[in-house]
């Protein structure tokens, strides 16, 4: 039976001009995951990376020191099917003022408990995106995103090598959507699950021809074991 490790990227640069890059803490989280894999003597036959910069940076930081975990003959594949949804578009279709970086910075400076307030706004933005009532407003409506994620998983499962261990470096929305597919969750539960996924956490799937099952979800033992409390982040 094969194993797929869905790895959420390390903390990205929230609030910066370029969100799609790891923060210093995100680099540390990925490195700690690599150290954890090394201690577990984990080996990967293949490494799959989403098409985003933060995915590849997480993979590189995680696997940099793991000669035995990612041997030289490991196959690295980039598959944009594992990319995240466009969180900026989802947000500004609900709150257009956040398209202005100055207005966004003002919100975080002037709002009490800005992270909590932002989470509430983004949850409402997600509900709008997933409602199906405004699909024409989005370059990738929710049903298309869901179909893209599932198709990426199906490509991986049907590719050669049925009993391999595969590392997939991806994003929280993608992981939550794949869990919905496997567990039959409601759309509203996808957003709730997305919020609880920890940066650099691992979700493990087991697969064989015609069947994929969830083994464990949102494992961040590497941060609890090797890191400090500040290394456990959700955004």
Are the C-beta atoms of 179 and 144 separated by less than 8 Å?
Answer: no
Which is the CATH superfamily of the domain at 2-84+141-231?
Phosphoglycerate mutase-like (3.40.50.1240)
136-162 residues labelled b (16+ CB within 10 A) or e (exposed)? eebebbbeebbebbbebbeebbeeeee
pTM metric for this prediction: 0.91
Q: pLDDT confidence of 118, banded at 50, 70, 90? A: confident
Q: pLDDT confidence of 114, banded at 50, 70, 90? A: confident
Provide the mean pLDDT of the chain. 90
Domain boundaries, the chain: 2-84+141-231, 86-139
pLDDT digits (tens, 9 = 90+) for 119-164: 899 999 999 999 999 999 999 999 999 999 999 999 999 887 677 8
Q: Rounded CA gap, 189 and 34, in Å?
A: 30
């Amino acid at each position: 039976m094969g194993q797929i490790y869905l790895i959420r990227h390390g903390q990205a640069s929230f609030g910066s001009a370029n969100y799609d890059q790891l923060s210093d803490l995100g680099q540390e989280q990925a490195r700690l995951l690599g150290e954890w894999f090394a201690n577990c003597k984990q080996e990967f036959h293949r490494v799959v990376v989403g098409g985003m910069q933060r995915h590849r940076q997480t993979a590189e930081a995680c696997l940099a020191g793991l000669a035995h975990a990612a041997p030289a003959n490991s196959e690295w594949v980039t598959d944009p099917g594992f990319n995240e949804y466009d969180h900026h578009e989802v947000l500004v279709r609900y709150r257009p003022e956040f398209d202005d970086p100055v207005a966004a910075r003002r919100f975080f400076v002037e709002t009490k408990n800005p992270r909590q307030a932002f989470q509430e706004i983004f949850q409402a933005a997600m509900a709008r995106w997933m409602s199906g009532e405004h699909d024409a407003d989005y370059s990738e409506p929710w049903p298309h995103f869901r179909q893209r994620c599932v198709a990426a998983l199906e490509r991986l499962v049907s590719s050669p090598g049925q009993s391999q261990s595969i590392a997939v470096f991806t994003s929280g929305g993608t992981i939550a959507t794949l869990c919905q597919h496997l567990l039959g969750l409601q759309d509203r539960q996808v957003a709730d699950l997305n919020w609880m996924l920890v940066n650099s956490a691992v979700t493990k799937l087991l697969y064989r021809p015609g069947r994929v099952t969830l083994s464990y979800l949102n494992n961040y033992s590497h941060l609890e074991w090797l890191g400090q409390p500040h290394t456990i982040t959700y955004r």
